[in-house]
Amino acid sequence: MKKITILGSTGSIGVSTLDVISRHPDRYSVFALTAHSQVERMVEQCRRFQPTYAVMADASAAEKLRGKLQAQGSDAMVLSGMEGLNEVAAHAEVDFVMAAIVGAAGLLPTMAAVKQGKRILLANKEALVMSGQIFIDAVRTHGAELLPIDSEHNAVFQCMPEQYNGNLRAHGVKRIILTASGGPFRDAPLESLTSVTPAQACAHPNWEMGKKISVDSATMMNKGLEVIEACWLFNAAVEQVSVAMHPQSIIHSMVEYDDGSILAQMGQPDMRTPIAHALAWPERVVSGVGSLDLFSMGKLEFKQPDMQRFPCLQLAYDAMHTGGTQTAILNAANEVAVEAFLQGKIAFTDISTIIARVLSSATHHAATSLELILDDDRQARGLAAEFVNSINKTFRRQAR
């Protein structure tokens, strides 16, 4: 019986993870659930899965949760804040940690799990985007297992040689091809993007995701972050990772070999597939995902991404070329800009503008420590907030 901590249990990845776990009560049990502030959903999850710990990042939410669980007679111990997240991620009784907290907030608890040699099911791409080599070195030093959950990276993992050791050339791998749906605006007139609403940006045509990642998909920053993550996961140069627009989201990614072969992983656009794969690896278990009907899925399309339509993708490639803390700065600026867009403070097209301004204004450094990375993250957030405020004044005037 493997005991699992789910960092971010109330989000879409966390909910899908619990669904897979529920199908295998003889193999997996929930040790801890964590969330930011969704008390009611956490109460329901605790009622159903009976974790030993429940953690809320927000202290006031933790108090509310504690009262509700006590009223129901639950024995779950309620913790709060980063200290609580780190404790349940690194706890001696935990075997696997699903790292599904969105954004930079997931870095420290995920690292805490790494340092205790856990199996890390990594859905929080920002951890690698921010800390890169430090994170990978920690995985090696502490004997942790790192298995990717993003559908694209999980697909690449499945298409890599079984004994892949981090040397692409030695294994005859020519390049990694990440597929991208292009989001809801892949065919929209460019001039229409300035008037996009948050609701429209969150209406992904293929996947059910949270608001932040849905906006990232619409700008294709999500794919840019995935390019950076792929470089670290598979020890690839940024030139060895390309992106192919694939609107159907049937092929989740591909690996091209020197002999001309391209191996692809196909399946329904459902995150329970990569979650089940990583939970059971190297075995296979039922995920709850239906079979792909090859005879009704129609044609599969591929085309190159338009960097004019998706400037965030180019910004991500540029940041990885620069290296150091520039990718952490990129991520921080994006998080601030996306939140401002969701709050109606800036236009959709302002997201890339703000990120570009921060990248050109912030001072980046060699990523030699987590402290330095987090310092540059804070610097970038401050700059991004200033640019948001400046743009917001113009945005409000234009809206009158």
Does residue 196 have a pLDDT over 60? yes
pLDDT for the residue 199: 92
Domain annotation for the chain: domains and CATH numbers: 2-148 (3.40.50.720), 156-269 (no CATH), 323-399 (1.10.1740.10)
**DSSP run (H or E) holding 374:** helix 370-399
- Tens digit of pLDDT for each residue in 112-121? 999 999 999 9
Question: What pTM, to 2 d.p., does this model score?
Answer: 0.93
* Euclidean distance between CA atoms 58 and 391, whole angstroms: 30
Which pLDDT score is estimated for 105?
87
- As beta bridge partners, residue 263 has 255
Could you tell me which of 316, 350, 318 has the C-alpha nearest to residue 222? Answer: 316
The per-residue pLDDT for 220 is 96
Report the alpha-carbon distance of residue 171 to residue 180 in Å, rounded: 25
Sign of CA dihedral 331, 335, 337, 342: positive
- Percent of the chain past pLDDT 90, that is, above it, reads 86
Residues 6 or more apart in contact with residue 165 via CB below 8 angstroms: 171
What's the gap between Cα 157 and its chain centre? Answer: 16
Structure tokens at 356: 């570009």
